Copies of this chain bind each other. A is one copy, B any other.
Amino acid sequence: MPAPVDHNRRRQEIAEIAWDIISQVGLDAVTIREIAAAAGYSTTIVTHYFASKRELLLYTYQAAAAHAQKRVDQVLAHDAGDLQGYLEALLPLDQNGVRDWRVYFAFWQIAALDADFAAEQRSWMARVRQVIAGILKARAKSDQALRNCDFALLAKRLLTLLQGMAVQAVFDPEEWSAQRQKNFLASEVRSLLATAAVRKR
């Protein structure tokens, strides 16, 4: 008897290949046929899992986000209050990070026009803000100045910083080398935490 097909694993595998191809050639140029060829499957099998490019991109975006999440989990398992490490894990510091952001850009173009994709993007942003707020609460235990800060607002300000940096860094890797991203981030996080402590609720 042949081993049963693990459909989730296949979807995941195809999504990872799609993620790689989309990050290289963009969404416009990618075809289901090309993804099938790279995965070693027939086009029929791939369309069994993904009926359209739209569906494929949605899943691929989730795979890219899950991929970034793995890096994040490692950081926070080590130190639940490591704000700098968490934000670094999401920035385009290396080739993997740049690839994630390329997939995000492909996704954003659709999300600007498609309510389902926009909802997915909002839930990504909400998740990041929630994790940041959790990190801030962990830090507040040992940092008196952070107590009574508006964590939700501070998380929003930090997400704004993260996204603003990333969209510059992807297009200008010289101006935004990994080291410069880290330095800029550290300096801005310091400022944001200091002004949040002053503002308080």
> What residues make up the interface of A, taking CB atoms closer than 8 Å to B?
23-28, 53, 98, 101-102, 105-106, 108-113, 118, 121-122, 125, 156-157, 159-165, 167-168, 170-172, 175, 184, 188, 191-192, 194-195
From the candidates B53, B102, B194, name the one contacting A112 in the complex (CB within 8 A).
Answer: B102
How far apart sit A165 and B113, CA to CA, in the bound complex (Å)? 18
How far apart sit A184 and B164, CA to CA, in the bound complex (Å)? 15
A113 to chain B: closest CB distance in Å? 5
If A161-B164, A164-B163 touch, does A112 touch B101 (CB 8 Å cutoff)? yes
A100 to chain B: closest CB distance in Å? 11
* Contact across chains for A121 and B24 when beta carbons are under 8 A apart: no
From the candidates B157, B167, B191, name the one contacting A167 in the complex (CB within 8 A).
Answer: B167
* Contact across chains for B122 and A172 when beta carbons are under 8 A apart: yes
* Contact across chains for B118 and A109 when beta carbons are under 8 A apart: no
Give the residue name and chain of the B residue nearest to A57 (CB): B28
* Contact across chains for A163 and B157 when beta carbons are under 8 A apart: no
* Contact across chains for A109 and B171 when beta carbons are under 8 A apart: no
A60 to chain B: closest CB distance in Å? 13
Give the residue name and chain of the B residue nearest to A194 (CB): B195
* Contact across chains for A26 and B125 when beta carbons are under 8 A apart: no
* Contact across chains for A171 and B102 when beta carbons are under 8 A apart: no
* Contact across chains for A171 and B26 when beta carbons are under 8 A apart: no
Q: Which residues of B contact A161 (CB under 8 A)?
A: 160-161, 164
A15 to chain B: closest CB distance in Å? 18
Q: A23-B112, A106-B109, A159-B164 are in contact. List 9 more A-B contacts (CB 8 A).
A: A26-B112, A27-B109, A98-B112, A105-B109, A108-B108, A112-B170, A160-B168, A162-B164, A164-B167
Q: Among A112, A125, A157, A159, which residue has the most Cβ atoms of chain B within 10 A? A: A112
How far apart sit A110 and B110, CA to CA, in the bound complex (Å)? 14
